[in-house]
Structure 1
Amino acid sequence: MSRGAGDGRLFGANNARDLDIVRAVLGEKQLNLLGQSYGTYVAAVYGTLFPARLNRSVLDSAINPQWPWREAWRQQAIEQNAVVASDLRMFAEKFPYAWGAKSAVPQACAFNSRKPIEPLVSPRRSGYPQGLVVQGEFDPSTPYAGGVAMAAQVDDRLVTVVRDGQHVPYGDNPCVTATVDAYFLEGTLPPVGARCPGGDPASR
């Protein structure tokens, strides 16, 4: 795994290919996939590369498929700063040489000049059933606009978790969990414009 990350082989298309190897080893004709956060891109790419092998799919807290990774990280930083700016400021003042200072240190990937070994896959849905995209209205890790863009690009049904900043709400939000379970178990799609109630984003 570490070697793959170092030589440019660890990326969405190869992650999807790995999933298909797992499917074959298990002897399954098709997969049902729940992708969360970065996994939403991998699941969408899997459907793009192997449409006949994907049955039902749910993308929980989707990333924007139109953004290169640098832009995705930039937008995430903007949203997270907007949500917790005051808390981060107090934390940095209290611990100036701990996490507050460490968060400002440039990471190695910021200076990576390695060229990708193949173009990024632009997700699309053709040949597999319509799925779900679940997105929190105030999710700072995967901003809401990204979920809207993903749902539009792959023509999936968007479920909005209103007034909620939780990242990956499936399994915690009762409405989201019931909606996703009904889709996976019975193939029931929610209506267009479906909304699930959330909590105060500041409480997350």
Structure 2
Amino acid sequence: MRSTTLAVAVLSMLALTPATEARAAALDWQPCKGTALAGLDCATLTVPMDYRTPFGAQLSIALSRHRATDPLRRRGVLFTNPGGPGGSGLEMPSGYADQPISQVYDIIGMDPRGVGASTRLSCLISSWRPDLPSRPTDADLPVFTAYARETEELCRRGGGDLRQFITTMNTARDLDRARAALGERKINYLGVSYGTWLGAVYGEMFPQRLDRSVLDSALDPIKTWHEQDDDILTTIEANFTRWATWAANRDQTFKLGTTPREVRASVDKIAEAVKTKPIAGFRNIDLFDENVGISTRSRPLWKEFGETMSQALGEISGAKSDTAPRSRTDRAVATAREDIKATRNGVFQTVTCEWNWPSNVEDYYADMRRARDHFPYGDTVSYMAPTNCTFRSFTPEPLPKIGPARYPTGLVLQGDGDTNTPYVNGEVMAETLGSSLVSVAGEGTHGQYANVPDPLMGFPAANPCVDNAVNAYLLDGVLPGSRVTCQSTNPPPSVPFDGPPRSVG
């Protein structure tokens, strides 16, 4: 596996003759078009579709740049990636423009191959929108399989020959082509979520080309994509238990129970009622389960969610319905749906198939039943369901094995309570690479560096502890200790304790 990947990587580097690099360096930077990219420069890079045939079919890669504001202190380029896979990265440099790193780095954004302004990969869209319930009956389970099969078939037909070349490894090669085009000997890197895996792969393939590296909210480099879903389910339930403990400490306010077990029983009672009629604005059990997962993850929503659950119990007893307290909660749910939609493109449904997926649907069904019966909140069943990758119609390039970093020690950031990339994933990434780990305790957000609060939500708030650690490293090469903990800046709202507080965790 490893030798095949490295051999292809060598071919890609051999294709970069001095003349090729000289031609590539003449990127035509122009002011970007569009309000979202205001203040940035944009350019297009041409790369091989298949690096085994570097002079064959070519793809266009869209790049953006925020130039270092203090040229005398400039120390190179900082490539960024927002994750997904399938996220557009052209706007990312603007997100770091107010950080001190923008003074010394040309910050580079990129729409990876298949995405946005780059050569796009598309799946055909089906008119079939099956009901995929959060608590499926056994009779519902084959519907998940049918939908996954159709999704793969539509991606196969829509993606054509391009699909097999939309890979993490080829994106890493594209990064290195961009490095050469910029005339840089090395790059620095800041990746978020799936972007952490891309950064680790780049470092494995091109260790001599990577200087400083920040991996924010990391994947586990050892497990498959589906194996990490188990960690997500554990985190979703742990977030609920922490909220239930917090609410139990405040039973005089919420009246949901004096122990976490009693609070869970109250929520279960509401769920049973929602199955038969709308309660507290929840139209159905699917919406309710989704809301429970999001609200117990986001600590600033804990009070509002507790009030909603208290109101729901009142409605069950005959009180009048009032959905006013749920304004921020509903917005959080809508935002989560937008995030999912943004990454559910042809790239997501192709790149995630690089990992191996179980092929026996009965194994999925057993896991789905277990999630449904044990803890269905947070849409846990969907994580256990078959995906299009279960029926993968192409043979992907083998993934490289990530081992101890052969480049300078980097930095991994990981939030406790993050259900996109659970905390344990970041621990393994840091341990595998030998990187320093900055943990954020009591934090449910995804992405820890340079947070800007949503003006309507009021969170996530910036975390100076995290920002200072990243800035010290990227600016001056100063790493924190091998294991450092920052406290969350997005705590639950202040609600009086009933008595001596129990541990929330």
- In structure 2, distance between residues paired with 1:201 and 1:50: 40
How far the C-alpha of 1:15 sits from its partner, in A, is 1.9
- The match for 2:180 among 7, 18, 24 is 24
Q: In the superposition, relative to structure 1, how do residues 107 and 6 fare at CA in structure 2: closer, same or farther (>3 Å)?
A: farther
2:435 maps to what in 1? Answer: 156
- The match for 1:195 among 485, 490, 493 is 485
How far the C-alpha of 1:8 sits from its partner, in A, is 3.2
- In structure 2, distance between residues paired with 1:91 and 1:22: 53
How far the C-alpha of 1:16 sits from its partner, in A, is 1.1
- In structure 2, distance between residues paired with 1:5 and 1:201: 48
How far the C-alpha of 1:147 sits from its partner, in A, is 0.6
- In structure 2, distance between residues paired with 1:5 and 1:68: 25
- In structure 1, distance between residues paired with 2:170 and 2:240: 35
How far the C-alpha of 1:109 sits from its partner, in A, is 2.1
- In structure 1, distance between residues paired with 2:161 and 2:194: 15
What pairs with 1:43-62 in structure 2 (closer than 5 Å)?
43-62=199-218
1:182 maps to what in 2? Answer: 472
- The match for 2:417 among 113, 135, 138 is 138
SS of corresponding position for 2:481: coil
Structure 1 contact 8–114 (Cα < 8 Å) conserved = no
- In structure 1, distance between residues paired with 2:287 and 2:237: 15
1:167 maps to what in 2? Answer: 446
- In structure 2, distance between residues paired with 1:152 and 1:54: 19
- In structure 1, distance between residues paired with 2:161 and 2:492: 35
How far the C-alpha of 1:77 sits from its partner, in A, is 4.4
Aligned amino acid, residue 284 of structure 2 = P
How far the C-alpha of 1:40 sits from its partner, in A, is 0.3
Q: In the superposition, relative to structure 1, how do residues 38 and 202 fare at CA in structure 2: closer, same or farther (>3 Å)?
A: farther
1:96 maps to what in 2? Answer: 284
Tell me whether 1:66 sits opposite 2:213 in the alignment: no
1:124 maps to what in 2? Answer: 403
- The match for 2:198 among 42, 59, 70 is 42
- In structure 2, distance between residues paired with 1:158 and 1:121: 23
How far the C-alpha of 1:169 sits from its partner, in A, is 1.0
Q: In the superposition, relative to structure 1, how do residues 201 and 49 fare at CA in structure 2: closer, same or farther (>3 Å)?
A: farther
How far the C-alpha of 1:14 sits from its partner, in A, is 1.7
Structure 2 contact 405–434 (Cα < 8 Å) conserved = no
- In structure 2, distance between residues paired with 1:180 and 1:72: 26
Q: Structure 2: which 5+ runs fail to align?
A: 1-113, 115-120, 122-158, 242-266, 291-336, 338-378, 451-461, 494-505
- In structure 2, distance between residues paired with 1:82 and 1:95: 26
Q: Which moved more, 1:127-136 or 1:65-74?
A: 65-74
Q: How many residues align?
A: 201
SS of corresponding position for 1:134: strand
How far the C-alpha of 1:32 sits from its partner, in A, is 0.5
Q: Structure 1: which 5+ runs fail to align?
A: none
Q: Which moved more, 1:109-118 or 1:91-100?
A: 91-100
Q: Which moved more, 1:43-52 or 1:95-104?
A: 95-104
How far the C-alpha of 1:165 sits from its partner, in A, is 1.6
Aligned amino acid, residue 421 of structure 2 = T
* Structure 1 residue runs of 4 or more that deviate by more than 3 Å after TM superposition: 3-6, 80-86, 89-93, 95-108, 199-203
1:143-167 per-residue CA deviation (whole Å, 9 max, x = no partner) reads 1110110011111111111121221
2:321 maps to what in 1? Answer: none
1:15-37 per-residue CA deviation (whole Å, 9 max, x = no partner) reads 21111111111111111101110
How far the C-alpha of 1:11 sits from its partner, in A, is 2.6
Structure 2 contact 437–483 (Cα < 8 Å) conserved = yes
Structure 2 contact 414–440 (Cα < 8 Å) conserved = yes
Q: In the superposition, relative to structure 1, how do residues 74 and 175 fare at CA in structure 2: closer, same or farther (>3 Å)?
A: same
For the pair shown, the structure with the greater C-alpha radius of gyration is: 2
1:108-132 per-residue CA deviation (whole Å, 9 max, x = no partner) reads 5254323542211222344310000
SS of corresponding position for 1:7: helix
TM-score (norm 2): 0.36
Aligned amino acid, residue 169 of structure 1 = Q
- In structure 2, distance between residues paired with 1:160 and 1:97: 34
Q: In the superposition, relative to structure 1, how do residues 24 and 165 fare at CA in structure 2: closer, same or farther (>3 Å)?
A: same
1:49-102 per-residue CA deviation (whole Å, 9 max, x = no partner) reads 00010000011110111111122234334433553696xx69996243986799
SS of corresponding position for 2:483: coil
TM-score (norm 1): 0.83
Q: Which moved more, 1:113-122 or 1:75-84?
A: 75-84
Q: Which moved more, 1:137-146 or 1:70-79?
A: 70-79
Structure 1 contact 4–10 (Cα < 8 Å) conserved = no
What is the root-mean-square deviation in Å for CA atoms of aligned residues?
Answer: 3.1
Q: Which moved more, 1:7-16 or 1:41-50?
A: 7-16
